Amino acid sequence: MLMRTYMKETDTKNSYVFVLSFPLSAHDFIKNAFYMSRYQKVMGQGQAEISAARAVAGTIPVQEYKDVTHVIKNVRTDDYERSVPFIEIKPKFVFSPDDESVNFDYHSFDMKCSTLVFPAELRSGENMDLIGRLAVVHGISVEKMIILVKDCVSLSTMKFDTEKLKIKAARAQGDVKPGKDIYDMSAGSLPVF
């Protein structure tokens, strides 16, 4: 309640007066050497003198104005039990159900990727399909995809973190470089959707 609001209604416009109530009176603030010296240090000597002169001067008469001050609730006394639930936003990778084949060199991936990097137990059809689709969508080569897959495999628990792979693939810089003429690109470098 350090600020009061007054409003005067007329036919053409409304006028407002905002009155700031000082925690200390202006006279007490100016007399207090500690407060005044800190104010001068921050605002400068000239501005401090102007502010002191205005604070000591008379106030605006508000007899013709109506007090329209609204009390603001103290936020600290509001309900502490209220909480906003955290929802993790995960990227969605939606592929067309019509995609029967993905233009990814699975044979090279199998030959170049050691079972010590990506164990055979984790090479399910679903995991391999995801690897191929992410490689095609983000333009990632077989060699780079092996590196990304290696970072997403936990050999101690024999788990493959597909969500981590999706994020890494999205952040990876693709290897497909467009040429001068898009019609000169080989069919193997074009994604099939």
| pLDDT per residue as tens digits for the range 123-143 | 888 899 899 889 888 888 899
Does residue 35 form part of some domain?
yes
With respect to residue 172, please indicate whether it lies within any of the assigned structural domains.
Answer: yes
The predicted structure's pLDDT at residue 139: 86
Q: Among 30, 50, 73, where does a domain finish?
A: 73
Closest by Cα among 128, 130, 191, 138 to 163: 130
Do 19 and 6 touch, CB atoms closer than 8 A? yes
Closest CA to 100 of 186, 192, 176: 192
Residues 115 and 53 in one domain: no
What percent of the chain has pLDDT above 90? Answer: 11
Domain count, the chain: 2
Domain range holding 65? 3-73
pLDDT tens for each residue of 43-90 = 888 888 877 777 766 566 667 777 776 666 555 554 545 555 656 555
Same-domain status, 66 and 118: no
Residues 171/144, Cβ–Cβ less than 8 Å: no
pLDDT digits (tens, 9 = 90+) for 179-190: 566 565 554 444
Answer with the one of 32, 58, 73 that is the final residue of a domain. 73
Q: Is there a domain that residue 96 lies in?
A: no
Domain shared by 182 and 134, yes or no: yes
- Final residue before a domain boundary, out of 25, 55, 73: 73
**Residue 168 within a domain:** yes
- Pair 58, 118 in one domain: no
- Examine the domain organization and report whether 112 and 155 are in the same domain: yes
Domain-located, residue 82: no
